[in-house]
Structure 1
């Protein structure tokens, strides 16, 4: 288990609000919206501890050299995490499961983060991470007919600038999100990979834009999404999901609000 404490300053939230194109919430009363803690209490490894892909190679599970991808997670906001006061994050690996995949060995890791403030737990998160063999994926990205936006859908920009800024805000050095040559030539992707957490954040923010307060989310990344494919969030008729411009679903989620509403798909 590791522990990290810092005073939450407003600047990361200001930067995230500007990236998302939303008004800055009342950080001292209402606290950080659901998932906004992702720009706080960050791991900042030494440059010498990073591997060729930009991920740390010391103290990782499993062994260094495996490809790392966010597969999903569950986050519950149990109370307002406010700025101007210290917060502490406890992190632990709760499970590791090895499986055989079509492309080689897979390791599924569940990491739990618990964030407390003033001795009270404010956020509980479990991240699902998958590690695969270091072989090129050669994911196809054939052209498809664009699907027009429907009622209840919202487009979110995922151009290279957005992906770079989100990587910087979350201190995520994984090169598949901002280094197109690396993503294509080393990991075999046809474009920059849109972060799984960014897709989850887009889902939570789309729900928050309806005037309710998201209190929990469970999300799953079901297919890779690339920058040139676009990101469209659907939050209508009880559903929360992300699709690309062609209609291909890349992430699904379930959001619970303070009123007990559920938007699920």
Structure 2
């Protein structure tokens, strides 16, 4: 369980990072998914593995030798999460299941987070996490660019943007900012764009379009920094048209 006073600074930092408006945080509360900047785990340096991700004293505890991927999730908001007040997060592992995939053994874990404020649960979230064996990720062939349409939001994914988002979410996973590690150890062709950043971008595109409600998302393919990020309220694709995330709001227009 984690309890913190929610300060406005992280929200304003995210607004500046993505160039999106920040609402009245004391009255309207945080926009959808912005709770990912708050009530963060802050593991000791000694608890980080070679990849920068915690390997002990964390929930969930990763299987030894496996590599972590954020696969998707569902977020339900029943009230505003306001800055200037304290909030408490409770975390529970709902399920863990071992399966055999084409690339080897996989462990699927579902984690639930509940965030309480003013004595009520205002955010309830389930995160789907997959742990896999180490392996080489194939490079994706570069095809001609697909220019963004009028209803798409093109985000320039740079090492600076990925590093700053890692800092905002206290995420030391080296695949997002250490290019040598990502290439030489994990076999990636570039820095990996955070799954939560893709989901947040979809939510922000939806917020701009006046959408609201519960939010679901699924990460369907890795996205690397040199591939860009093109966003709608229901999907993320790379600059070549390959889809990497899907989802969106399940409620009605505001």
TM-score, structure 2 normalization: 0.96
Match of 1:131 in 2: 131
Q: 1:58, 1:64 within 8 Å by CA — same for their partners in 2? A: no
1:190 to 2:222 alignment = no
Which SS does the other structure have where 2:249 is aligned?
strand
Q: 2:63, 2:131 within 8 Å by CA — same for their partners in 1? A: no
1:230 to 2:224 alignment = no
Q: 1:62, 1:107 within 8 Å by CA — same for their partners in 2? A: no
Match of 1:102 in 2: 102
Q: CA–CA distance in 2 between the matches of 1:158 and 1:223?
A: 16
1:251 to 2:249 alignment = no
Deviations 1:63-93 (A, max 9, x none): 2321001000001111100011100000000
Q: Please, which of 3, 26, 32 is the counterpart of residue 5 of structure 1? A: 3
Question: By how many angstroms is 1:61 displaced?
Answer: 3.3
Mapping of residues 63-102 of structure 1, within 5 Å: 63-102=63-102
Structure 1: 5+ residue stretches without partners = none
Match of 1:50 in 2: 48
Which SS does the other structure have where 2:250 is aligned?
strand
Deviations 1:229-249 (A, max 9, x none): 0100123xxxx1000011000
Mapping of residues 98-247 of structure 1, within 5 Å: 98-133=98-133, 135-210=134-209, 212-235=210-233, 240-247=234-241
Match of 2:38 in 1: 40
Q: 2:108, 2:129 within 8 Å by CA — same for their partners in 1? A: yes
Structure 2: 5+ residue stretches without partners = none
Q: CA–CA distance in 1 between the matches of 2:211 and 2:221?
A: 28
Q: CA–CA distance in 2 between the matches of 1:126 and 1:157?
A: 29
Deviations 1:40-83 (A, max 9, x none): 00000000000000111114434232100100000111110001
Which SS does the other structure have where 1:115 is aligned?
strand
Q: 1:78, 1:215 within 8 Å by CA — same for their partners in 2? A: no
Question: By how many angstroms is 1:8 displaced?
Answer: 0.4
Q: CA–CA distance in 2 between the matches of 1:114 and 1:137?
A: 35
Question: By how many angstroms is 1:148 displaced?
Answer: 1.2
Q: CA–CA distance in 2 between the matches of 1:213 and 1:149?
A: 21
Which structure has greater strand proportion? 1
Match of 1:31 in 2: 29
Question: By how many angstroms is 1:119 displaced?
Answer: 0.3
Which SS does the other structure have where 1:198 is aligned?
helix
RMSD over aligned Cα, in angstroms?
1.3
